[in-house]
Every structure is written in C-alpha cells, then in structure tokens.
Chain A
Amino acid sequence: MNFLNLSLGEFMAIAGVISAGVVALYLLDRSKRRHVVSTLRFWIASNVPSEWKRSRRIQQPWSLLLQLVSIFLLLLAIAGPRLARDVNAIRDHVLLLDTSAWMGARARQGVLLDQAKQLAIAYINAVPAGDRVMVVRADALATPVTPFETNREPLLKAIRQSQPSASALNLEQAIEFAQRAQRLQGHSGEIVFSGAARISRAEADSLNPPANLRILQVPSAGENVGIRKLGLRRSPVKSDTWEAFVGLKNDGVRPREIELDLHFGGATVARQTIALDASAEPEMTFSFTNPRAPFLEAVIRSTSGRGDAFPQDDRAVIDVPEEKTLKVAVVSAQPTLLTALLGGNSQVETSYKNPQQYNPQEKFDIVVFDRFKPDALPVGTHVIWIEPPAGSPFSIRSNQTQAKLTRWNADSPLAAGLYTHDVELATAQVFNVAKGDEPVAEVAAGPVVVARPGPVKMAAFGFHPIRSAMRYELASPLLMANVLRWMAPETFRRMDVQAGTIGTVNISVDKGLDPASIKITGEDKRPLPFTVEGNSLRFFSGAPGNVHVSAGDRETIHSLTLPDVAETAWKPAANVRKGVPAGFSGRAGATEWWPWLALLGGLGLLTDWLLYGRSHILRVGVGPARRPTVGIPALLQKVSWRRAS
C-alpha cells in the first residue's frame, strides 16, 4: 500500500493529531460545566442516579468511535492510497495527436483527424486508471495541451477540441518533446502517436523511433493534387507584363489530369489542362498583359471527375501589393526640356513648373531645379540641381569649356552601368567636393556630377543633360534613373509576391548579401528572426499571413496561406508497437480508492450528526433532542454560540 499525496509517517502524524483533538474535545465536553440556574428545586427532583452513574466515563462511545473512524477515512481519501502498487509503477504516457494540415484530408467518414481522435480516445480508455497521460498536439510544433493527468475528462476534451492546422508534421521534434517530458517526470511510459504520420521524405529516412513508441496510424487518404507554389511579379523585360508562376504536385499513386485556372482580379488570364504523373511536381509560368488587379487566384479541378482527398490545397490566392509612385517636380524656365528624361517611367509622376509657379510648401518626393535657385528650399525633399546658379548648396570651383568626360566613379551607385567617355561638353561646371560628397562623373578639371548623401539627399549636374552633347548618349537617362533610384530606393524596389506554406520558408538570395540589409517582417509588422547560409535565407512563420522580405533592391511578399502537405506517409518498422492495446500486461486495473473513502467518511459524519448531533431527524435515546456533547458537532455548536453572544 502506498500513499500518493502523503507519506505513511505524515499520514500517521496527521491522523494522530486529529484523533487526539477529537478525544480532547470529547473529554472537554464531558468535564463538569458550571451553570447558574433560577432554582435548584426541579434539578433535585430530576436526579436519577440509577440511570446516570458517576463511574460511567464514556457517555456516547459510539459517537466518538464513529467520528474517529470517519475522520480516519477522510484522511485516507486525501492520502489517496493504492493497494499493491509501488511508486515506481506509476507510468506517464505522452499522446501525440497529429494535427498537421494533412489530417484535414477527407476520409470515409469525416476527415482523417476524426479517425485519429477515435483511436486516441480508445487508447485513453485502455490506459490503467492510475497512469497519467499528457496530450500533445503535433504539427510543425509540438504543443502540450494538458499536463500529465489521471483525470480522463480534460484529456478527452483536449482531444475532441483539436483541429487540423496549416503546417506539416514534424514527428521527430514531437517525439523528442515527449521524451523530454517523460524524463522530467522521472517515470517511464509510452509515447503514443495517433495520426497519418505524413512527414517529409528526409525526415522519414532519418527518423529513429524510440523503443517505447506506439503508433495508432490512420490510413493516409490517397489521391490528391494540390497547388504547392504560386507567384506573381512584373516582367523585368516589359513593364506592362505580369509573370505568374504555379507549382503543382500529384501526391497520389496514379496519374491525374487537372484543369488549372488563373484569375487576375475577376478576369481569367490563363486556363490549361495538365496531365500529372504519379508524384509529379510540374512548374509552369504564365505571362499576361493586364491592368493591375488586387489579387491573383489559382484554382485546380479534376477533369476525370475523381474526387480530391485534400481540397484545401486546390485553391491559392495572393494579394497584389499596391505599387508606389514617385512624385517629381521640375522647376525650369524651359520645363519641357526634361520630359524625355523623366516621362518614360510609369512609376514617376512628374509635374513641370515655371520658376514663378514654384511653392516650397508643395509636397514632392524629389524637386529638380534646372538652372534656377529658389529663395527657399523645400523642407524634407530630395533635390537635383542642374547647372546650379551661384548661391546653391554646391560650390562651383570653375566653369570649363570643351571639357571631356574622363571618369565615372565605379564605387558610387549613381554611376552603376555608366561607361561613356570622351563626350565633349561645351560648358561644364566643376564643383568643389565638400565633406561627405561623392563625385560621380569627372572631367579633367574635377567633378561635374556630385552626390550628397544624408537625410535629404542632393545631386548636382555641372552640365545640362539635354542641352549638352549628353543628349545623344544613353548615359544621360541612365544617370537620371540612377539618381532617382538612389534618392527613393523603396519606389524602385523589385517586388515579387509568392504564395507559400506556413512553417519554415527557404528563399534564394544573392551570394554574399549582407545580412544587415535583410529585413523580414510578419503580418503584425514585427521583425521575424532569420538565418542566412550561403545563398539560402531561412525563416519560420507559425501562423498564416503575409511576410515581407526585403533584401537589397528586391522585396518579396510571401503569402503563407497554403496548407503545408508533407511528402510521404511514414511506415514504421515492424518492431514498433501498433494499435490500441487490449490490456496492459502485468498491470491490474488500479482502482481509485479515494472517492469511496471520502464517501464513507462523509456518511459516517452524517450518521453521527443525525444520531447524536443537533438534527432532530433521528435521535438515539429518549427525550427531546439535545445539542451534541462530543467531537466535531459539539465544536461547531460552540463556535456558533460564541458568534451569537
């Protein structure tokens, strides 16, 4: 016999103290009490010595005995005794319930998770009553739902409330978690997995099941074709063309034919019938010229009429982010001169103004001053100076004639891709290079194009890109484009949108990319942790939503909404225990004694109260009901007297 909650010594000590207390109350009660009465005449008349002998020490022995026994039983109930069991025989089982995305696949009745729940409940009912069980929901993460419990109700409730998630199962991690939990408790027990066990092929190859693993495997539903990837971007070649990228997979063992529809906004932009071999993973690219739409939707349908086991991955939608535009103002006496430089980019919205129309309060992203110096500069706006007059922020060292461009600063992003040399400029201003300024282009006498970084960026051209010989050079629009990109890089950042699965996301990045330039933010705009290994960027998102990844001049929006379906159903080795056990060998059903002990103890006290207490229901002896004379009922009554007085 052992006590779960109390040691034998503790139990005996508490029982001894309480018994002593009850006996003391009894003795206290039967000690002589002094009372002042109105008269003694009736007392003398009532004295019946034949019935009440002074030698009689115990007045109500059965009441005292009943109370002692009841208290002993209640204390036993608190101690939670178990017969013929030792402490080491207690077992802690961990039930891993597969709640991965695949468990939402159709089964003969309901979904796969329903079958897994039935098996899990059957296991819980088969476990001996004294064994403790912890329920853990297993998908990409292992999430404990209950602590180790003997009470079956919260366990069954946790199982019934489980729902399929959107991530794939990481069985290895779930098993490690279960082992760790069992080690912490110090008791042995089984690790029970209930589910389809659909995991990645790499994990299936490397998984080494522990000896105490039991599998309650539900048959994995067969035929499924699903969308695995969906992406959208502007064509790098044609700015008015979109490129959509779709990845499919046939998870079944038979070839399937499906029809793929792509809807951009409300318009169908592509429809294709695709034949998929077993386990095939085709990837397709579609180009279309359509006005910008808020979303791209991909839907697949089976043309053969056969049902799909997992309809959740037959449709994918990505939201197309809004494109940014750059507001540029050109202030010039000849404003139309610069139309050729700024009008070709759809992302640039240019306003042309005469110097008289210039208002420094008007808000623009960039202002171009063409041979004009205003009295007041715009606040917080980037400025491009073309042949700045005296008094501009750039100091002019000299004015050159017939100067030849000799050098482009390869280290400056503004000179990226510019190689034009020997262009003879009729006139050119050579600037003094202030601290922090970057020369971009130079003639023999010095820099003629200078960039000034800072919160408000500035660039100065010592020649006119249209009025000079540069108007015939490709370098002229490229230089202007570089300046605009340098001043407002976020506007010109290349943006891709991809639909993916939640969990771990791998992205290819340029090799040697500085991790400090990478920024990943989740749906709530908070940064997500990531790692960069070689040209692979990896991060984890446990919840569906959009994740923004900015790396260099490229921004990718990952719409993590597709359910993550693992590749293969794990086939456990033959030595792994399978199925719900009929009975646990050598482990007789441990009955919980405490409810019965508590009930008996309570009944004992109730009986004592009815027979000897204040109750008028049942009365032992003759005459009217008396107040209790011994033990707990007497103590309660004394307390009530004191309160009343």
Chain B
Amino acid sequence: MAEDLLIDTRLLEKLERLTIQWQKSLGGLVGGHNTARFAGAGQEFLDHRQFHHGDELRDVNWRAFMRLEKLFLKVFQLEPRIPVRILFDVSPSMATNGSAAIKGTLSKFDYARKLAAALCYVGLVRLDAISLQPFSDRLGDGLRVGGGRQRFQPAARYLSGLKPGGKTNFLQCTRDFLTKFPQAGLTIVISDFLDETDCEKPLQYLADFGHELNLIHVWAEEDREPPWEGELDLEDAETGTRLELPFGPDALASYTAAFDEFTAHVREVALRNGGRYVSLSTSTPVEEAIFGPLVRSGALQ
C-alpha cells in the first residue's frame, strides 16, 4: 500500500499525542481547539461589555443588573477551527539524490512527503481541516481533508502519488495561494527554499496577508557539505544550467558558509513575521525530527 511507504503504524500511534499549534489569533469556524482573542460563542468567560440592542438576552449578567440596574453583557472566548494548509515543494531540486543513497537516507522529496503525512495525521486526529497543497512553478491540485483520522488514507494515497516536476517559482505560487485561500490560517511550508529568485518576498506576502508561517526547511547533507573534490561538472536540477569548477577544502568551507547564510536568511523571514522556522536534515530520522525540532519549536505540542 502506498500509504504504508510514507509512515508506519507505530509512528501513527505516537503522533496521536500531538496537536498542531499556532500563535496568532485567527478567525475561523467555531469548534476548534485553539483559543483566540476574538469573542464569540464559547465556554470560557472573556469579558463584560455594555448591552446593545439586539444582543442575546441569555448572555446578560442579571446579578449585576440587580445590584447596579445596568445591563452588562458577558462575552465568551471564541475557540475557532483554523484552516491548516501544508504547502509542499515538489520541484526537481527536492528530488536530487546525490550521496543520499550511500548513507541510506531519504531524498528531500520523500522526506518532505513523510513529514507532510505526519502533520496531516496530527491535524486529522484533532479534527482540524487540512489542505495539502503541492507547488513548484505553480500551485498544483491540492487535497482538502478533515473529519478525523479515518480520512488519513486518502491523504496518504494522495501524497504517495505526487511526482517531482516543474521549476520553483515561489512568487507565482504565493499569488495563486492567496487567491485560492483568502481566509488567513496556519500555512506550513515544507521546502528546500531553493529558488532562482529570492524566496523572501513571496514569504513576506503570505505573512502580510495574515497567514501564520511555519517554515520547515528540508535539506540534504550534500546540500550543505558536498562530498566531492577535484574537477566537478555540475548541473542544476531545475534549470539544467552547467557549471565546471575545481572544488577543494577551502571552496567547501566557502560553500558551507554560503549555505548557512541562506538558511539564516529564511529563518529570519519566518521569525520576523511571528512564524516558526525548523531546519531539518534528511539524515535526521522523520520520527526524531517530529518529536525533536518540531516539538521544540512549538509547531507541535
């Protein structure tokens, strides 16, 4: 079964303890499990306010009226059901293997699929509404699931059927996304964030439109420390551009420094907009990544 390839039953059982968390107060349908600063129908008392015409008489604080002869209305805390959208990078750069096969690790694409499946399952267990949205040069056909853990199988089958392709275009994808999902929500982006143009601007757009960003940066060891030396003939996985260059220890140090600078930049975008950033190497097992960096960052609890 395709979903079996993504995530095993033992891990699924462990995931049931977790919940997807967000920080902003976002409007949504009533019945969620995250509190918001918005007042509305709820169980928890939030505040009093002056009674206005048309307000629900059941919410009037009659004890206060008896003492003060003024009508005060009890306001309750809203528990909204926030839409969770998982943006999933399916560009060819995610599928470069390099030396991944040597160590028996997954490619970034497979790793990201497993992560997406795990997050989807966590959301489904808590009755969140999950949108799985692949992207590369444009936004692909997504899948919206919700209503409990029994809906996980279609989601897993969907993720298993995804193939890498296209050429990353974050800006175009952001435009498509904002058009498709005007309601603000939690947006989890699983990607290597490698784009010809800078990915900062599109991510900033998302934040500006009220979306809470949760960036999961997936990278392979060879992305940070290429295991080659000597005369190299390199080809870009997405553009097909070729580059010949000699590569030695000093060049490697420069390469790694440039990569680290790039990841710091992506992290800054997320944190600056009140979001979260988690950097995951494909050499870290998926289970360890979920219960380690993701839980520590607060994205899951």
Asked if A629 CB lies within 8 Å of chain B CBs, one says yes
- Contact between B244 and A32 (Cβ–Cβ < 8 Å)? yes
- Contact between B101 and A33 (Cβ–Cβ < 8 Å)? no
Asked if B68 CB lies within 8 Å of chain A CBs, one says no
The 9 listed contacts between A and B (C-beta, < 8 Å) are: A33-B231, A36-B236, A42-B259, A47-B251, A49-B246, A51-B250, A51-B251, A54-B246, A626-B227
The interface residues of chain B lying within 8 Å CB-to-CB of A39 are 93, 194, 236-238
- Contact between B231 and A37 (Cβ–Cβ < 8 Å)? no
Query: Taking the nearest CB of chain A, how far is it from the CB of B235, in angstroms?
Result: 5
Query: Taking the nearest CB of chain B, how far is it from the CB of A160, in angstroms?
Result: 54
Query: In the bound complex, how far is the Cα of B227 from the Cα of A584, in angstroms?
Result: 61
- Given contacts A33-B228, A623-B253, A627-B227, is CB(A38)–CB(B248) below 8 Å? no
The interface residues of chain A lying within 8 Å CB-to-CB of B77 are none
The interface residues of chain B lying within 8 Å CB-to-CB of A38 are 93-94, 96, 108, 192, 194, 220, 223, 236-237
Query: Taking the nearest CB of chain A, how far is it from the CB of B113, in angstroms?
Result: 17
Interface residues of B in 277-297 (CB under 8 A from A): none
Interface residues of A in 608-633 (CB under 8 A from B): 621-624, 626-627, 629
- Contact between B104 and A45 (Cβ–Cβ < 8 Å)? no
Asked if B262 CB lies within 8 Å of chain A CBs, one says yes
Given contacts A36-B98, A37-B222, A59-B229, list 18 more A-B pairs with CB under 8 A.
A30-B230, A30-B231, A33-B231, A37-B96, A37-B98, A37-B234, A38-B94, A42-B259, A43-B245, A45-B254, A46-B251, A46-B252, A48-B248, A52-B246, A52-B250, A53-B246, A621-B248, A627-B229
- Contact between A37 and B251 (Cβ–Cβ < 8 Å)? no
Which of the residues B192, B230, B250 comes within 8 Å of A29, measured between beta carbons?
A: B230
The interface residues of chain B lying within 8 Å CB-to-CB of A587 are none
Residues of B in contact with A (beta carbons under 8 Å apart)? 93-94, 96, 98, 101-102, 104, 108, 192, 194, 220, 222-223, 225-238, 241, 243-255, 258-259, 262
- Given contacts A52-B248, A621-B249, A645-B101, is CB(A43)–CB(B231) below 8 Å? no
The interface residues of chain B lying within 8 Å CB-to-CB of A33 are 228, 230-233
Interface centre among A29, A49, A51 (most CB of B within 10 A): A51
The interface residues of chain B lying within 8 Å CB-to-CB of A435 are none
Query: Taking the nearest CB of chain B, how far is it from the CB of A464, in angstroms?
Result: 110
- Given contacts A29-B230, A45-B254, A644-B104, is CB(A37)–CB(B246) below 8 Å? no
The interface residues of chain A lying within 8 Å CB-to-CB of B248 are 48, 51-52, 621
The interface residues of chain B lying within 8 Å CB-to-CB of A645 are 101-102
The interface residues of chain A lying within 8 Å CB-to-CB of B98 are 35-37
Chain A count of residues within 8 A CB distance of the other chain: 36
Chain A contact residues, majority secondary structure: loop
Query: In the bound complex, how far is the Cα of B211 from the Cα of A606, in angstroms?
Result: 58
The interface residues of chain B lying within 8 Å CB-to-CB of A54 are 231, 246
The interface residues of chain A lying within 8 Å CB-to-CB of B255 are 42-43, 45-46
- Contact between A35 and B102 (Cβ–Cβ < 8 Å)? no
- Contact between A46 and B254 (Cβ–Cβ < 8 Å)? yes
Query: Taking the nearest CB of chain B, how far is it from the CB of A28, in angstroms?
Result: 11
- Contact between A40 and B252 (Cβ–Cβ < 8 Å)? no
Query: Taking the nearest CB of chain A, how far is it from the CB of B136, in angstroms?
Result: 13
- Contact between A622 and B253 (Cβ–Cβ < 8 Å)? yes
Asked if A361 CB lies within 8 Å of chain B CBs, one says no
The interface residues of chain A lying within 8 Å CB-to-CB of B243 are 40, 43-44
Interface centre among B93, B192, B251 (most CB of A within 10 A): B251
- Contact between A40 and B241 (Cβ–Cβ < 8 Å)? yes
The interface residues of chain A lying within 8 Å CB-to-CB of B228 are 33, 35
- Contact between B235 and A644 (Cβ–Cβ < 8 Å)? no
